[in-house]
Amino acid sequence: MEKLDILVMAAHPDDAELSCSGTIAAQIAAGYKVGILDFTQGEMGTRGTPAIRLQEAQKSAEILGLNMRENLGFRDVFFQDDEEHQKAIARVIRKYKPEMVLANAISDRHPDHGKGGALASKACFVSGLRMLETELEGKNQEPWRPKVIYHYIQNNHINPDIVLDITAFWEKKMASIKAFKSQFHDPDSKEPESFISAPGFLDFIEARAKEYGHKIGVKYGEGFTVERVPGVKNLFDLV
């Protein structure tokens, strides 16, 4: 199985694109292997169907150049942060052995986001426990704990601990978001309007990226919060 450098976890297909696809594109351009693990198919969303959203997720994966994208098929809105769900995620962590995990926001408007962020953190921890047994294709898996988890920021403003300059990847980020055609504003759509399909929603995404970019003196940025103090080997690695 191909080892990943970064595994992005997302409660819904399109969470990763809206919040951190500029970062994903930047890290892939720098030579890292990146995958996305979607927890649910977003079947409770107002627009689109699970089948359409899976197709859209694959299209976005191609645009970003992901090494893998999988969907755990958890229940949208009603998935639990419990042993069964932590183990299902641990199985994927042990399969791809990522060094870094990017996870949902620590809290947000949609309760799945904070819940998904906490579930991702716990799954990373339990995945490193030798006594937790998991199997893949009939074989016992080795424990694996990612070195670091960063939480991306979603709808609600959270003051970021780290901002990554995504200016060079802005167009790619927007292309990856627009791959989810059923979800965002389309003047020809006959589906009901939703929170994210309102015409101003993508303007908000741009405004947010400009705000975080402004904090570090670049045009566009994506922000993250940390679980432990970030360390660097060279102070000049910070911009």
Measure the CA–CA gap between 35 and 180, rounded to whole angstroms: 18
Which residue of this chain has its Cβ atom nearest to Zn ion in the complex? 12
Please state the closest distance from residue 65 (CB atom) to Zn ion, in A. 22
If phi over 0 gives left and psi between -120 and 50 gives alpha, with beta otherwise, what is residue 200?
A: alpha
Q: Which of 123, 121, 128 is nearest to 225 (CA)?
A: 121
Please state the closest distance from residue 110 (CB atom) to Zn ion, in A. 5
When binding is defined by CB under 5 A, the residue of 4, 6, 12, 177 that contacts Zn ion is: 12
Measure the CA–CA gap between 212 and 192, rounded to whole angstroms: 31
Q: Please identify, using beta-carbon distances, which residue of 114 and 213 lies nearer to Zn ion.
A: 114
Q: Please identify, using beta-carbon distances, which residue of 95 and 113 lies nearer to Zn ion.
A: 113
Please state the closest distance from residue 113 (CB atom) to Zn ion, in A. 6
β-pair type (100-103, 148-152): parallel
Q: Which of residues 194-223 bind Zn ion (CB under 5 A)?
A: none
- Residue 15 sits in the site that holds Zn ion (CB under 5 A): yes
Q: Which two tokens stand for residue 49?
A: 């169907």
Q: Please identify, using beta-carbon distances, which residue of 12 and 85 lies nearer to Zn ion.
A: 12
Interacting residues toward Zn ion by CB under 5 A = 12, 15
